[in-house]
Amino acid sequence: MSPTALTPGRSAETGTAPVRLSPRDVQIIRGYADGRTAAGVAAALETTEASVKGRTKRLAKRLGFTGQFPAALVHYAFTHGHLVVVRPRSLRPLPPRMADVLACAARGLGGRATATALGISLETVRTHRSRLHTALGVHCTARAVAVAWTAGLLDHSSSAPTPPGGTER
């Protein structure tokens, strides 16, 4: 995976123009896709953690996301061509419920929102996420979304992150 040039144009899902990401935004999202924390992204970009967190929150707010900012931003970047899959990975298909939890994470839903959306307990969501991380060989949800993209478990037809108002961006 590597960031691509910014791609103005229309979103395939909604027909609306996607939000334009700055090169710095793409670098930060790329750091999350690589499995880095905000502190790790800040160190790699030689900036402060507060700067990375602030930029992440502002971008998520601009896109209308709540909950899992990094995971939703990674999915958004892949969906709109800011990040692309360079070397596809081969993974076994995920069990249906684990795939549902992954899809909720890609939409930016936190644990409680995922539990509500799927009609399961918060503890069950945590268990599925833990097993998802193990199955994908990752330690954070943003990296799980990136790995799922490289394995073809998520793609452009996957539901894009949905902001709270229910309209997709």
For residue 153, being part of any structural domain is answered with yes
What pLDDT is stored for residue 91 in this prediction? 82
For residue 13, being part of any structural domain is answered with no
For residue 72, being part of any structural domain is answered with yes
For residue 11, being part of any structural domain is answered with no
What pLDDT is stored for residue 9 in this prediction? 35
CA distance 38 to 88: 26
* Per-residue model confidence as pLDDT tens for the chain (169 residues): 333 322 333 333 444 567 889 999 999 999 999 999 999 999 999 999 999 999 999 998 888 887 778 999 999 999 888 988 777 777 888 899 999 999 999 988 889 999 999 999 999 999 999 999 999 999 999 999 999 998 888 876 665 444 344 433 3
What pLDDT is stored for residue 54 in this prediction? 93
What pLDDT is stored for residue 157 in this prediction? 64
What pLDDT is stored for residue 37 in this prediction? 93
pTM above 0.85, yes or no: no
DSSP type of residue 94: P
For residue 14, being part of any structural domain is answered with no
For residue 16, being part of any structural domain is answered with no
For residue 82, being part of any structural domain is answered with yes
Task: Let me know: does 156 contact 84? Beta carbons within 8 Å.
Answer: no
Number of folded domains that form the chain: 1
For residue 59, being part of any structural domain is answered with yes
What pLDDT is stored for residue 74 in this prediction? 93
Angstrom distances, CA of residue 67 to CA of 10, 105, 162, 164: 25, 9, 11, 10
Domain holding 98, by residue range, is 1-6+22-169
Question: What's 159's domain CATH number?
Answer: 1.10.10.10
Residue with tokens 């790790």: 40
What pLDDT is stored for residue 158 in this prediction? 62
